[in-house]
Amino acid sequence: MTQFDELAEIYEEFSRLPFRRELEFPSVLGVLGDLSGLRVLDLGCGSGVYSRTLARCGAGRVVGLDESGGMIDHARVRESAEPLGVSYAGGRLPAALAGGFDVVLGVYVLPYATTYAELTGLCRTAADALRPGGRFVTLPIHPGVHHDPGHYERYGFRLTTGRSPEDGSPVDLELRFAAYETHVTARYWSAATLERALRETGFGPVRWRSHRLSPSAAAGPPGFWQPYLSAPHAAILDTRKEDSPS
């Protein structure tokens, strides 16, 4: 059992919030670019929200991988009801899939590493899945996250980090929207530590990418989105697997 086994329905509803639809998804998909024909692993796929989105964006093959049996069960039910050609695997990366992907996407995966060894383990899983030169795009907690727990409340969640978080410090993510209120424990990692973990597992230079609004949100009142854009709770890291670890 993991802390996510019973959260699939909540995560599905969370994916429908304006924050995710109008800001997060456009940002991630904008960084990924054209996926036509590419083989993509959705690492830490959860309920399969991004896996399904990647398939709809034209990826040639999409595999969702997650340690939570409850999340994988939910994702497979969705695939059966609405077939998109996505396959799902629970637990560790199957050996047969190693080196078989052009892109690995890891949305809110690295924050659930509780130790540096677990952090490098997740990065290594991404590296093992990729062909040389393949891309890893991932969203950890932003090292510059706002430390006021209420700063992100208008977007459907609260984030409690403490005033001076250190590597591995627990972060309380409280989802608060509609009739839902639930807590998930994540971890904070500094920029230097994130880049070191990626470098040690075979990745090259890291690009820290900016968030973007959907056209409809960008045309709306700017005041709603400015607090997030000025201090995003998640960073978007974009890096490539080198031919051999440095």
Number of domains in the chain: 1
154 in any annotated domain: no
pLDDT for 246: 43
By residue range, what is the domain housing residue 64?
Answer: 8-143+189-240
Provide the 3-class DSSP secondary structure of residue 82: coil
pTM of the model: 0.94
150 in any annotated domain: no
CATH of the domain at 230: 3.40.50.150
Quickly list H helices, the chain: 8-14, 18-19, 25-32, 49-56, 69-81, 116-129, 191-200, 215-218, 226-230
97 in any annotated domain: yes
The 10s digit of each residue's pLDDT in 107-162 is: 999 999 999 999 999 999 999 999 999 999 999 999 999 999 999 999 999 999 98
How many Cα neighbours within 13 Å face the side chain of 107? 22
128 in any annotated domain: yes
Say which DSSP state 230 is in: H
Both tokens assigned to 43: 């690492």
The 10s digit of each residue's pLDDT in 156-195 is: 999 999 889 999 999 999 998 888 888 999 999 999 999 9
Both tokens assigned to 211: 């968030």
